[in-house]
Each structure stands twice: as C-alpha cells, then as structure tokens.
Amino acid sequence: MRSNCRNVTCLTYTALLLTMIFSMGEPMPITHSDHLGVDFVTFLLELVENPPDTDVEEQISDLVLNLVISYNLQFTNTAENTVVKALARISVAKTFTEKILLLLNREEDPVRIFDHQPAPPHSVLKLFVDIFTNERTSTLFYTNDTKVLIDIIVRQLTDLSPGDTRRQQYLELCRVVMRNSSYGDHQHRRDDICKCFTLIFCEESEKSVSDQQLVRNISNEFPQFFKK
C-alpha cells in the first residue's frame, strides 16, 4: 500500500481484503508485526486525513478508516494496542474523529462482515473505549465532540436492556471519558447520567448484576460527580 499510495485501485482492494481478514477479531501472527506495526497504522491514519488526489470518487478515506477499525479488534490490552500507539503520535485527526463519531451515532459497525460466533465486540464502540482509555489519545477529540459522545452514551444507557453487552461497553466508555477527558470542566449531562445509573442500579434482573457493579465502581471513582 505504501509503495502505491496514489494507485486507487490497489489501495481499494488491499484495504477491503485486509478489513475482511481483521474483521474476525483474531490476533495476527507475531511475525507480521514488523510490516503491520505503528508506522503502517500511522500511514493509514494519514490516508484517512489526506487521501490521494487520484481518489476522484472520494472512497479511500472511508475504506482505510474501516481497515483501521477492523485492525483494532485484535488488541485486548490498550498498552500494547498498535492503533492507540499510532494515534498517540499525531496531534490532529479531525477527519478520523468526525467519521467514527458519526458511525457511533448511527449505531453502525462497518466491519461486521461475517456472521460468526463468538462475535467480536462492536468495533466502533471498542475503538472509542480504547482511545479514551489513553489520556494522550483522548485529547484528539474537541470538547464539543466529547459532549456529542456523551449525548450518545446517555441515549444508549437509556435504551439498551439488561444483558446487552453493549450497555456494559457504554458504561465503560462513560468511565474512561470521565477519567481521561476534561469532563470535570463542563460535566455535560451529569444529571442525565445520574438518572441512568439510578435506573440501572434499581433493576432486579440477574442480568443487571455486572452493570450494577460497574455503576457502583464509577460512582465511587468520581464522587465529585455523583455524591453531591
């Protein structure tokens, strides 16, 4: 890809093929890390922000974004996450952040290609959790974008049912946003988040137990937001 970065046809088919491979969420062989490491992901992020001028149909940015999203599925440890390490290298990722925020708002998982079990986590939601788990990469989002993200979190915590694995992911996202962003400066939708937490905590279903524990942990970690 790097040797043919202006060849749209090559970029298109390579991005599609790699996205399908990584969409399974399985770790790649360690021998591939030299070729598909931080430099490679940094190159992909640059393509998302600045696609080649030969891309007359304006599709490369989205295709490469999908590749980055699918590539991120294989990492379970944020400290060893190659995508997070690449994002930590850059200071501006406006196109990248806008596009993934739009996908999350639409509840789209663009790399859910194969209907296999066990299914990988929601790729876009996982990416957000990974980004905000790292204090450096969380700064890539402007304050207004973070507020939109919180709006999405509140909506999902309101709508998702006990036992839905996505609810726990959104709770975890809520926690890392509070931990690693400037949430304390604006406390956007704090009262609504409190209401969501109260409703979850009052549920009587056994399916709610893990979510209730997470709500308790978040409330204890941030008493300045929830115990006034």
Q: What is the pLDDT of residues 27-52, one digit of tens each?
A: 877 666 667 889 999 999 999 999 98
Structurally, the chain folds into a number of domains equal to 2
Domain boundary at 89, 122, 141, which?
141
Residues 147 and 78 in one domain: no
CA distance 195 to 199: 6
Over the chain, what is the mean pLDDT? 92
Averaged pLDDT for residues 192-216: 96
Same domain, 105 and 215: no
For residue 182, pLDDT beyond 80: yes
221: CB partners within 8 A, 6+ apart? 175, 178, 179
Question: With pLDDT > 70 as the criterion, what percentage of the chain qualifies?
Answer: 95
**Does 77 have pLDDT greater than 80?**
yes
Do residue 121 and residue 202 come from a single domain?
A: no
Burial of 56 by CB count in 10 Å (0-12 exposed, 13-18 middle, 19+ buried)? Answer: exposed
Structural domain that includes position 49 = 1-141
- Are 28 and 105 in the same domain? yes
Average pLDDT value for residue range 46-71 = 93
Q: Is the pLDDT of residue 5 over 90?
A: no
Q: Do residue 33 and residue 131 come from a single domain? A: yes
Percent of the chain at pLDDT above 90?
A: 79
Q: What tokens does 200 get?
A: 């979850």
Span 61-71, average pLDDT: 97
Residues 105-146 have pLDDT tens digits of 999 999 998 877 777 899 999 999 999 999 999 999 999 999
* Among candidate residues 141, 173, 204, the one where a domain is terminated: 141
